[in-house]
């Protein structure tokens, strides 16, 4: 018998050693764990935490871009942005479904978001001030999301891995549409070029924070890597994102706002400057520039959508009663 472990939470339910060993052997053999399979309680809890926070990020992440749908500069841009924001809503729904397979209810997860108990990505607490921010979000935020989510297609929990396959296909389109907005602006007037550069200046560092704290300060990474929930660490993914994105900036004459950025021949990677971790933790604490507005918008949408949920429940109850009577 042994204790389940979750990050710093060392005391968990006592579990049968044979079951734990069989579970760990399956994970080590790269088998997917499915909802009805036995799993350690701490594994289940870690998944609920990560998947639900991922779902919340997708749903809250609709707000910064949704803010620009009515102000997109052309019909084409509006149609593309509308489709992208709808895709993010869809990602949130797949992810809530994946979390539900672990025995948690959606209402409970949403309640945790609205009460501030559950986290969502820090990146969505920054405002979208100009049209170029929509380009920067697609290019950088979706770009960072893909970097993180491609390895999650091989995460050890089956429903999460399968959700990631479709999500990654859509995120690739999102990243390209964002970069294409930046390309168009950098091909435009001096004012448009300045707008694109300003957006990069504001979104660069928060995008690097999306990957989470440095590995030596990440309480969950070691256990999540052992259980193959995470397939790569926060720092590995952040480095890969920098390496992929800097040449994209250079290709369209944008300057990454980091004086310490330099190619390191020996490492075969870019060196980059120190991230402002104080800012990261303050945003996590709910002190981000538009954190309050984001939560107000989500609570309002939830309250105003109550009639839709009531109607859907009433319809489902009627359909079930009809089936019973037949």
| Selection from 264, 110, 298, 280 nearest residue 211 by Cα | 280
Q: How far is the CB of 323 from ligand FAQ (least distance, A)?
A: 37
Q: Determine the Cα–Cα distance for residues 26 and 272; give it in Å rounded to an integer.
A: 38
Q: How far is the CB of 276 from ligand FAQ (least distance, A)?
A: 13
**Environment class of 314 (CB within 10 Å of its CB; exposed 0-12, middle 13-18, buried 19+):** exposed
Q: Which is nearer to ligand FAQ, 241 or 270 (CB)?
A: 241
Record the tokens describing residue 21, joined without a space: 């060993």
Q: Which is nearer to ligand FAQ, 151 or 193 (CB)?
A: 151
Q: Which is nearer to ligand FAQ, 20 or 209 (CB)?
A: 209
What stretches of 41-179 adopt beta strand conformation (E)?
A: none
Q: Determine the Cα–Cα distance for residues 210 and 137; give it in Å rounded to an integer.
A: 12
Q: How far apart are the first and last CA of the chain?
A: 50
Q: How far is the CB of 191 from ligand FAQ (least distance, A)?
A: 26
**Which residues on adjacent β-strands are paired with residue 33?**
157
Q: How far is the CB of 88 from ligand FAQ (least distance, A)?
A: 4
Nearest-10 crossing angle of helices 291-304, 106-115:
140
For ligand FAQ, the binding residues (CB under 6 A) are 49-50, 53-54, 57-58, 61, 88, 119, 121-122, 137, 141-142, 145, 148, 209-213, 218-221, 224, 230, 234, 284
Q: How far is the CB of 263 from ligand FAQ (least distance, A)?
A: 26
* Residue sitting closest to ligand FAQ (CB): 61
| 234-242: Cβ within 8 A, 24+ apart | 235/211, 237/147, 237/148, 237/151, 237/211, 238/208, 238/211, 239/269, 239/270, 240/147, 241/143, 241/144, 241/147, 241/207, 241/208, 241/211, 242/208, 242/269, 242/270, 242/272
Q: How far is the CB of 266 from ligand FAQ (least distance, A)?
A: 27
Q: Determine the Cα–Cα distance for residues 150 and 171; give it in Å rounded to an integer.
A: 10
Q: Determine the Cα–Cα distance for residues 222 and 57; give it in Å rounded to an integer.
A: 23
Q: Which is nearer to ligand FAQ, 156 or 234 (CB)?
A: 234
Q: Which is nearer to ligand FAQ, 54 or 202 (CB)?
A: 54
Q: How far is the CB of 171 from ligand FAQ (least distance, A)?
A: 7
Task: Tell me if 186 sits within 8 A of 255, measured CB to CB.
Answer: no
Q: How far is the CB of 190 from ligand FAQ (least distance, A)?
A: 28
């Amino acid at each position: 018998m042994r204790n389940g472990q979750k990050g710093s939470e060392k005391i968990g339910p006592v579990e049968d050693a044979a079951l734990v060993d069989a579970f760990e052997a399956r994970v080590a053999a790269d088998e997917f764990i499915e909802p009805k399979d036995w799993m350690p309680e701490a594994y289940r809890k870690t998944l609920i935490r990560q998947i639900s926070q991922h779902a919340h990020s997708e749903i809250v992440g609709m707000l910064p871009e949704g803010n620009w749908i009515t102000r997109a500069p052309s019909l084409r841009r509006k149609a593309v942005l509308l489709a992208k924001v709808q895709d993010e809503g869809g990602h949130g729904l797949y992810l809530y479904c994946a979390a539900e397979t672990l025995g948690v209810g959606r209402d409970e997860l949403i309640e945790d978001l609205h009460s501030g108990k559950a986290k969502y990505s820090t990146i969505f607490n920054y405002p979208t001030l100009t049209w170029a921010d929509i380009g920067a979000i697609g290019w950088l935020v979706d770009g960072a999301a893909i970097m993180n989510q491609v390895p999650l297609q091989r995460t050890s929990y089956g429903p999460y891995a399968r959700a990631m396959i479709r999500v990654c296909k859509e995120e690739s389109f999102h990243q390209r549409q964002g970069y294409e907005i930046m390309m168009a602006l950098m091909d435009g007037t001096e004012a448009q070029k300045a707008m694109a550069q300003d957006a990069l200046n504001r979104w660069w560092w928060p995008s690097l924070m999306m990957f989470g704290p440095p590995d030596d300060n990440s309480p969950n990474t070691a256990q999540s890597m052992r259980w193959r929930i995470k397939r790569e660490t926060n720092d590995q993914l952040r480095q890969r994102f920098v390496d992929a994105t800097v040449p994209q900036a250079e290709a369209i004459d944008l300057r990454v706002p980091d004086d310490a950025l330099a190619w390191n021949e020996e490492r075969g990677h870019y060196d980059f400057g120190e991230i402002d971790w104080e800012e990261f933790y303050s945003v996590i604490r709910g002190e981000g520039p538009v954190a309050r507005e984001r939560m107000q918008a989500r609570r309002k949408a939830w309250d105003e959508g109550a009639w839709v949920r009531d109607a859907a429940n009433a319809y489902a109850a009627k359909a079930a009663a009809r089936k019973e009577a037949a």
